[in-house]
Amino acid sequence: MTVHIGAKPGEIAETVLMPGDPYRARWAAETFLDDAVLVNEVRGMLGFTGTYKGNRVTIQGSGMGMPSFSIYANELIRNYGAKTLIRIGSCGGMQDKVKVRDVIIAMTASTLNSPSSGMFKELNFAPCADWSLLKAAVEAAEAKEVGTHVGGIYSSDVFYSERPDLDKEMTRHGILGVEMEAAELYNLAARYGVRGLAVLTVSDHLLTGEALPSEDREKTFGDMVEIALEAAFA
């Protein structure tokens, strides 16, 4: 057990999918895993372990934002031996070609700030996805014929942005979408030598104003989950 995860030794799989929403973790576990068992409910941040096509996997909520994500990812890696961490979450589209419900597979994650920024000091470290996971996720998405985009995303440390100038520059430089956790995942994956990837569903769009209701965000992102699972065990 750790401060934030109540699972016993051996209850967390080496492969962990990490949605921000703990209820999405429950939905994904009930929908895609066999014999899913609740292994964490500390602070209401639900985690489940089961199997997918015979492979053990944990789906653990991370909360919103990089500080919260960093807590769970650190403990999963350092205390439970997680080797593959895949964020499955929502994001806001930032390009005309990106449509609501499309899937974004993040090669890189730009950010203004993250919990790792103090470590790098003046260095602008460029965190990126694990190549083997990225390649497998793209292949899984192509097999499902899902609207998919591969490229850079922006991990923001605020949800209600007051920097339209920054959003404009992100769009200008080809950033596909904005979310709040992936940059720290990629930092931690590099630091600890594990595999990290973010597979995201576009839930709203900064250019068009289109947005999905909260229930759809929680329960209708099946393509993203399947792509992540297939990539993890390719």
CA–CA distances in Å: residue 51 to residues 29, 58, 150, 226: 9, 8, 28, 13
- Output the known binding site for a purine D-ribonucleoside: 4, 179-181, 203-204
What distance in Å separates the CA atoms of residue 61 and residue 27, rounded to the nearest whole number? Answer: 11
Residues in the chain: 234
Mean pLDDT, rounded, for 222-231? 97
Domain boundaries in the chain? 15-232
223 close to 144: Cβ distance less than 8 angstroms:
yes
182 close to 155: Cβ distance less than 8 angstroms:
yes
Give the SS3 label for residue 191: helix
Share above pLDDT 70 across residues of the chain, in percent, rounded to a whole number: 98
Phi then psi for residue 102, to 5 deg, are -65, 160
Give Cα 59 distance to the centre of its chain. Answer: 11
Q: How much is the pLDDT for 217?
A: 67
Report the CATH number of the 15-232 domain: 3.40.50.1580
Mind listing the pLDDT tens digit for each residue in 144-160?
999 999 999 999 999 99
pLDDT at 199 over 90: yes
DSSP symbol at 128: B
User: Would you call 21 a catalytic residue per the annotation?
Assistant: no
Placement of tokens 């909520």 in the chain: 61
- Output the known binding site for phosphate: 20, 24, 43, 87-90
Mind listing the pLDDT tens digit for each residue in 95-136?
999 999 999 999 999 999 899 988 888 998 999 999 999 999
Strands 103-110 and 148-155: parallel
Q: Tokens at residue 222, please?
A: 């099946």
3-class DSSP string for 38-49: EEECHHHCCEEE
Amino acid at position 91, single letter: C
Q: How much is the pLDDT for 213?
A: 83
- Output the known binding site: 4, 20, 24, 43, 87-90, 179-181, 203-204
What distance in Å separates the CA atoms of residue 95 and residue 37, rounded to the nearest whole number? Answer: 39
Task: Identify the active-site residue in 102, 204, 216, 223.
Answer: 204
Q: How much is the pLDDT for 131?
A: 98
Q: How much is the pLDDT for 219?
A: 63
Q: Tokens at residue 191, please?
A: 């630091």
pLDDT at 218 over 70: no
What distance in Å separates the CA atoms of residue 89 and residue 198, rounded to the nearest whole number? Answer: 8
